[in-house]
Amino acid sequence: MTASTAAVATDAELANAIRALAMDAVEAAKSGHPGMPMGMAEIALALWNRHLRHNPANPHWPDRDRFVLSNGHGSMLQYALLHLVGYDLPISELRNFRQLHSKTPGHPEVGVTPGVETTSGPLGQGFANAVGMALAESLLAQEFNAPGHAIVDHHTYVFMGDGCMMEGISHEAASLAGTWKLGKLVAFYDDNGISIDGRVQGWLTDDTPRRFEAYGWHVIANIDGHDVNAVDAAIKAAQAVTDKPSLLCCKTVIGKGAPNKAGTEHVHGAALGEKEVAATRAAIGWSNPPFEIPQAIYDRWSARECGAMLESSWDEKFAAYRAAFPERAAEFARRIAGDLPATFDSVVARFESAQAAKGETVATRKASQQAIEAFAAGLPELIGGSADLTGSVFTNWSGSKVVAAGTSGNYLNFGVREFAMSAIANGLALHGGFIPYVGTFLTFSDYARNALRMASLMKLRSIFVYTHDSIGLGEDGPTHQSVEHASSLRLIPGMDVWRPCDTVESAVAWAAAIERRHGPSCLLFTRQNCAFVARTPSTVDAIARGGYVLADFDPSSTGARAVILATGSEVSLALGARDALAKEGVAVRVVSMPCTSVFERQDAAYRASVLPAGVPRVAVEAGVTAFWRRYVGAEDDPHGAVVGIDTFGESAPAPVLFKHFGFTVDNVVKAVKGVL
């Protein structure tokens, strides 16, 4: 019997539609991963056809279930599902799998394909995003739901494979999910025993069910992942357990249906090949040509009608909520839309003026905390946290309330888990309703780096707070001294990296990060005190342009001129050198450059007005020098120099280190004289 002859399509036909679309799309692209979609077809059927509460006509409906494909290399599974259930993803897009500007790129990408909730592919990270999404749901439910008004009430489902399980981030994220008792998180482990190098017994012998039980999860082991009813029953059991996240361990055969290649690594990362595709068609009884799906199959897959009903019943629920609690409903709508409160601008302006008037000399990590204190009270969406360094990175404030298992709050103790912390922050941002900020020492940003890259790729409003920048932390030595990190973070496309020099720049940096709706920010702060710099109000306004003239050429000077660019703790050094050089008849402009990417987004005329052509330049930053060459010219340019550090640091008190590495007024003066 072929699929097209049945009046009502069977489960087998529904699952085989996924198999056919996956193998045919990978075949057409001559690239991709058919094995996982073919192996997870019945699991996907059980979840998407029987449980997932979503509306293909509106991928952004707030109370939809979230679905994450953490094993994102099997993206054709998600594209096939989105197409079959009725999202705006026509078959032409599936034919165009992995091609330029298609809606079906190599891995699921948020913002490209309707219905994709997070960009996944770096294994394990989607799982951590899902933990963040489930956490967001739990916190919003506690904050907004009222008796008889469950306006936030959805599940987060995540598919993961051996690769996700092997990645360390799965440990970090699973441990936190268990501790936080995220009962509406349901993970499906595609236990097919195969990864790229072959059978995993040689490199993955963990007892995964017991591992997750030890994290405090509800685990169902040994589910037959090809038995739709068994998976369905497991999902129901998972939904019934509300005080623990659930892991459903499903035994599957990778590439199931391919008669010669199923169960082997040969269905991973390569098209099946014409012969095997034909053999698979015969083996599973699929007689339809590539990319042709019988209407009966579409009919049973479609989630359009049910999705519209689900959304409209939520709309009714929300209307009742609005009638009962108009202010809370408006606040919920604002939070989900990601709009800042109307008063935010004036709060920022008042705080910046207050900081300017106070003129305090403090460590910028302290200035950061002052900014959090000033902004957080009026921003309930701001949710903070730290990787076991709260007392050092000052990410808490007087209103911080730690989230414990099943309780609400606005502060997360992540423990020493920088990578999961950052990916969970991304999950919170993706879910909506929150602006996450998370902190650790700058040098440990490396542990989190791929999550930062993903935040940038996804244009998320995630804020990464990094203190103890550069050598200023002193005695902890080179392991903790982040000489290359500021520059390397600046290299991530779309990442705004702020390194403010005092209390006022710190306030501006925080406001910019919060206001930046479509992109992440790194905020870099010092451990040591940084001298306050007095500015006029218009100079304070200019900080938001990323680079600005902090102290200009003395107009009365007729001697040589130079520009010193500096960031963070080195700005005061630049100002000192300016004073010293003035005595020698050299007029210096100090340009403070707290955020180079924001400066680069200014118009050319502004940039040229700050950095005039033809005037020699010296950049000063206690970090690697290469990045600054774009502003001062190549190493053989006689009119440009960088005072920086191209080695690792040393252990010593900070003042000794600054002197040792040449961060003295005398040395900056010497550098300026060298370029005149």
Ligand X SMILES: Cc1ncc(C[n+]2csc(CCOP(=O)(O)OP(=O)(O)O)c2C)c(N)n1
Rule CB under 6 A: say whether 75 interacts with ligand X: no
User: 193 Cβ partners below 8 Å, 6+ apart?
Assistant: 162, 199, 200, 201, 254
| CB count in 10 Å sphere of residue 460 | 28
Structure tokens at 581: 């050089």
Rule CB under 6 A: say whether 206 interacts with ligand X: no
CB-CB contact of 257 with 284 (8 Å): yes
Select from 9, 219, 254, 671 the one that contacts ligand X (CB under 6 A). Answer: 254
The distance between the two most distant Cα atoms of the chain, rounded to a whole number of Å, is 95
Rule CB under 6 A: say whether 36 interacts with ligand X: yes
Per CB under 6 A, the segment of 170-178, 191-199, 331-339, 395-403 that binds ligand X is: 191-199
What is the closest distance, in whole angstroms, from the C-beta atom of residue 123 to ligand X in the complex? 4
Instruction: Name which of 254 and 442 has its Cβ closer to ligand X.
Output: 254
Please state whether beta strands 194-195 and 198-199 pair in parallel, antiparallel, or not at all (unpaired): antiparallel
Q: What residues numbered 257-296 form the site for ligand X, per CB under 6 A?
A: 268
The CA-based angle 601-520-336, given to 5 degrees, is: 115
Rule CB under 6 A: say whether 108 interacts with ligand X: no
Rule CB under 6 A: say whether 78 interacts with ligand X: no
Instruction: Name which of 169 and 293 has its Cβ closer to ligand X.
Output: 169
Structure tokens at 205: 């012998």
Rule CB under 6 A: say whether 32 interacts with ligand X: no
Instruction: Name which of 68 and 565 has its Cβ closer to ligand X.
Output: 68
Rule CB under 6 A: say whether 191 interacts with ligand X: no
Structure tokens at 122: 């770096």
What is the closest distance, in whole angstroms, from the C-beta atom of residue 554 to ligand X in the complex? 54
> Is there a catalytic annotation at residue 418?
yes
What is the closest distance, in whole angstroms, from the C-beta atom of residue 163 to ligand X in the complex? 3
Rule CB under 6 A: say whether 162 interacts with ligand X: yes
CA atoms within 13 A on the CB side of 579: 6
Instruction: Name which of 33 and 535 has its Cβ closer to ligand X.
Output: 33
Which listed residue (93, 172, 265, 418) is catalytic? 418
Rule CB under 6 A: say whether 469 interacts with ligand X: no
Helix or strand holding residue 372 (H, E) = helix 364-376
Select from 56, 106, 108, 163 the one that contacts ligand X (CB under 6 A). Answer: 163
Per CB under 6 A, the segment of 156-164, 354-362, 586-594, 596-604 that binds ligand X is: 156-164
H-helix segments, 526-570:
537-542
What is the closest distance, in whole angstroms, from the C-beta atom of residue 398 to ligand X in the complex? 39
Select from 109, 190, 469, 502 the one that contacts ligand X (CB under 6 A). Answer: 190
Rule CB under 6 A: say whether 123 interacts with ligand X: yes
Structure tokens at 176: 């936190």
Rule CB under 6 A: say whether 121 interacts with ligand X: yes
The identity of residue 440, as a single letter, is: T
Instruction: Name which of 123 and 540 has its Cβ closer to ligand X.
Output: 123
The CA-based angle 287-289-293, given to 5 degrees, is: 85
Q: Which of 38, 47, 49, 48 is nearest to 16 (CA)?
A: 38
Per CB under 6 A, the segment of 67-75, 229-237, 374-382, 392-400 that binds ligand X is: 67-75
- Could you tell me how many residues of this chain bind ligand X (CB under 6 A)? 20
Instruction: Name which of 121 and 568 has its Cβ closer to ligand X.
Output: 121
Instruction: Name which of 162 and 621 has its Cβ closer to ligand X.
Output: 162
- CA–chain centroid gap for 662, Å, is 37
Instruction: Name which of 254 and 376 has its Cβ closer to ligand X.
Output: 254
CB-CB contact of 65 with 40 (8 Å): no
CB-CB contact of 162 with 193 (8 Å): yes
Q: What residues numbered 402-431 form the site for ligand X, per CB under 6 A?
A: none
Cα-trace Rg, the chain: 28
Instruction: Give the span between the Cα atoms of 547 and 563, in whole angstroms.
Output: 13
| Sign of the Cα pseudo-torsion (31, 283, 15, 304, in order) | positive
Indicate which residues carry an active-site annotation. Answer: 418
Binding positions for ligand X, rule: CB under 6 A: 33, 35-36, 71, 73-74, 121-123, 161-163, 167, 190, 192, 194-196, 254, 268
